[in-house]
Amino acid sequence: MKQAADGEGWALSDESIAVSAAFEGTEAIADARDYARSFLKDLQAVHGVPVSVRAMGNVQLVVSELVTNAQKYAPGPYLLTLEADEGAVAVTVWDSEPRLPMVQGFDPARVGQHGLEIVMALCRSFEVHREPVGKRIRATVDLADDTIGDVADRAL
């Protein structure tokens, strides 16, 4: 894993908190999940942003699914950006594969290829954009549940 040049540590503005890192190789999926977990823990501990236990798991699962797809279908490295803003975390993965992902139709007998279904079920919003080189997928996950006080530090 390499920190993106602009994303060394926290990028703080009046509106959001963001980090970015480039990943490549077989260990990248676990590293990306760890990166997301660290971002969420720091979001809570350093910035006082409440993160529910459910959000902690959902963000890591979304990161895992999107990074797995990037590693499986795109040649070369990919970029993961996590941005906290307005009570949610946007998980953005850029890769070099120009083909857009397709969500498969419902088929309980199908083994595998359920990643985008999972991501879309967990997210507030889901976007796919073609880029001059490759594509960018952005999924936004709410940080809080309806339950007040259910924050991740209780489960850590």
Per-domain residue ranges for the chain?
2-154
Q: Does the pTM exceed 0.85?
A: no
Beta bridge partners of 23: 78
pLDDT on residue 114:
62
What residue spans of the chain are helical by DSSP H? 28-45, 53-73, 115-122
Tokens of 149: 């006080």
Q: Output the CA torsion sign for 100, 82, 84, 12.
A: negative
- Rounded Cα distance, 81 and 92, in Å: 5
pLDDT single digits (tens) 11-48 = 444 568 999 999 988 789 999 999 999 999 999 999 99
Alpha-carbon dihedral angle through residues 103, 117, 92, 23, given to the nearest 10 degrees: -90
Q: Are 78 and 70 in contact (CB under 8 A)?
A: yes
Q: What is the CATH number of domain 2-154?
A: 3.30.565.10
State the pairing for strand pair 17-23/2-3.
Answer: antiparallel
pLDDT on residue 111:
66
pLDDT on residue 91:
97
* Inter-CA distances, 77 with 14, 25, 53, 97, 107, Å: 30, 8, 30, 11, 32
Q: Which amino acid is it at 87? A: G
Residues of the chain with pLDDT under 70: 1-15, 110-114, 146-156
